[in-house]
Amino acid sequence: MEIPDILNEDEIRNNLKTEWNGREIHYYRETDSTNIRAKELAKAGASHGALIVAEAQTQGRGRLGRVWESPKGEAVYMTTLLKPQIQPIEASMLTLVMALSLARTFQELYGLEAGEHGIQIKWPNDIVLQKKKITGILTEMSADIDRIHYVIIGTGINVNNRKIQEELQEKATSLFLGTGKKLKRSQVIGKAMEYFEQDYQKFMESHDLKFLKEDYENFLVNKDVQVRVLDPKGEYNGIARGINDKGELLIEKDGRIITVYAGEVSVRGMYGYV
Ligand code: ATP
């Protein structure tokens, strides 16, 4: 018999083995966006590690204001609130930390390999299964010039979706569609919180990705392959060579290495989305 995939605060708490991450839970049956909720909750004094989860979103967003499709009942929409003692410029690396934690989560729970026959990360923030996107991450921050008030990391995961809407079918899939395995979303959330707690700790030891880079690169789709860099200042082709300790993508072009900062840039494979 199939285990019902019920998502609520108790289910999430029952699957949590963390010390601080996800211990304060805010659950919504439907909300505008978990990042918007997280900002409000941060202003109202929510704590470091607070977790905001919704069953559906009416205004889910990706990077650069793009829409994140958020149908009810089968996917995970969650945001982690952090109050890290780091420089504002260091915060964008947390997107890569979360991408790694989620990749580890899917690898373990679904018994998948890291790499083209399993889970891959498309730099900086997408997780890909069979060349199609299963997860997007949007990190936002409130800060003064030298002090962070809070960082929020929003994640949308296509977990048990039985169908992907027509317009996205070329580039998106779900863990269920890709593996045939149906897991409880609360289990996926719990494992992700656990890995993120560990990876965040490693990030805080160096304030960069020094201790995580190797693991991240194991999942990286854009390694030693031709890519097109969609830089608003001008697009170009090159060969992606991995990341540096700051999480920037290294592109080899005309015998030189260019470092690409995540902010405004998208990277495409030469043949299709990945
Ligand atoms: P790209 O995926 O185009 O390289 P990006 O990493 O900046 O860019 P995100 O901000 O993570 O993209 O997500 C927004 C994009 O993801 C949308 O433009 C759409 O193509 C795609 N998308 C929207 N909803 C979903 C979903 N539920 N599952 C998978 N992909 C989605």
Query: Does residue 229 sit in helix, strand or coil?
Result: strand
Q: Is residue 183 part of a domain?
A: yes
Per-residue model confidence as pLDDT tens for the chain (274 residues): 677 899 999 999 999 999 999 999 999 999 999 999 999 999 999 999 999 999 999 999 998 889 999 999 999 999 999 999 999 999 999 999 999 999 999 999 999 999 989 999 999 999 999 999 999 999 999 999 999 999 999 999 999 999 999 999 999 999 999 999 999 999 999 999 999 999 999 999 999 999 999 999 999 998 899 999 998 889 999 999 999 999 999 999 999 999 998 766 788 876 566 6
Assign residue 172 the CATH number of its domain.
Answer: 3.30.930.10
What CA–CA distances, in Å, run from 176 to 110, 115, 145?
10, 18, 43
Cβ atoms within 10 A of the Cβ of 237, count?
12
Q: Is the CB of 8 under 6 A from ligand 1?
A: no
Residues 42 and 80 in one domain: yes
Q: Is residue 177 part of a domain?
A: yes
Mode of pairing for the β-strands spanning 236-243 and 256-260: unpaired
| Spatial distance between the Cα atoms of 17 and 39, rounded to a whole number of angstroms | 25
H helix intervals, the chain: 9-14, 34-43, 93-110, 175-179, 185-206, 213-219
Q: Is residue 89 part of a domain?
A: yes
The closest residue, in CA terms, to atom 2 on ligand 1 is 126
Q: Is the CB of 156 under 6 A from ligand 1?
A: yes
Ligand 1 center to residue 146 CA distance, Å?
Answer: 31
Indicate which atom in ligand 1 lies nearest the CA of residue 137: 11
Q: Is residue 185 part of a domain?
A: yes
Residues 170 and 237 in one domain: no
Q: Which pair of tokens denotes residue 89?
A: 């410029």
Q: Which pair of tokens denotes residue 70?
A: 């958020």
Residues 229 and 181 in one domain: no
Substitution candidate for ligand 1 out of 137, 138, 168 with most atoms within 8 A of CB: 168
Residues 194 and 211 in one domain: yes
Q: Is residue 272 part of a domain?
A: no
Assign residue 81 a region (left: φ > 0; alpha: ψ between -120 and 50; beta: otherwise): beta
What is residue 264's predicted lDDT score, i.e. its pLDDT? 67
Residues 251 and 142 in one domain: no
Q: Is the CB of 269 under 6 A from ligand 1?
A: no
Q: Is the CB of 191 under 6 A from ligand 1?
A: no
The closest residue, in CA terms, to atom 4 on ligand 1 is 266
Mark which of 217, 232, 252 sits at the end of a domain. Answer: 217
The closest residue, in CA terms, to atom 30 on ligand 1 is 172
Residues 144 and 262 in one domain: no
Ligand 1 center to residue 137 CA distance, Å?
Answer: 9
Domain that holds residue 230: 222-267
Instruction: Say if residue 145 is exposed, middle or buried (CB neighbours under 10 Å; 0-12, 13-18, 19+).
Output: exposed
Residues 35 and 70 in one domain: yes
Assign residue 259 the CATH number of its domain.
Answer: 2.30.30.100
| Spatial distance between the Cα atoms of 272 and 131, rounded to a whole number of angstroms | 9
Residues 92 and 147 in one domain: yes
Q: Is the CB of 155 under 6 A from ligand 1?
A: no
Q: Is residue 1 part of a domain?
A: no
Residues 127 and 261 in one domain: no
Spatial CA neighbour of 250 closest among 222, 274, 271: 222
Domain count across the chain: 2
Q: Is the CB of 266 under 6 A from ligand 1?
A: yes
| Spatial distance between the Cα atoms of 225 and 238, rounded to a whole number of angstroms | 8
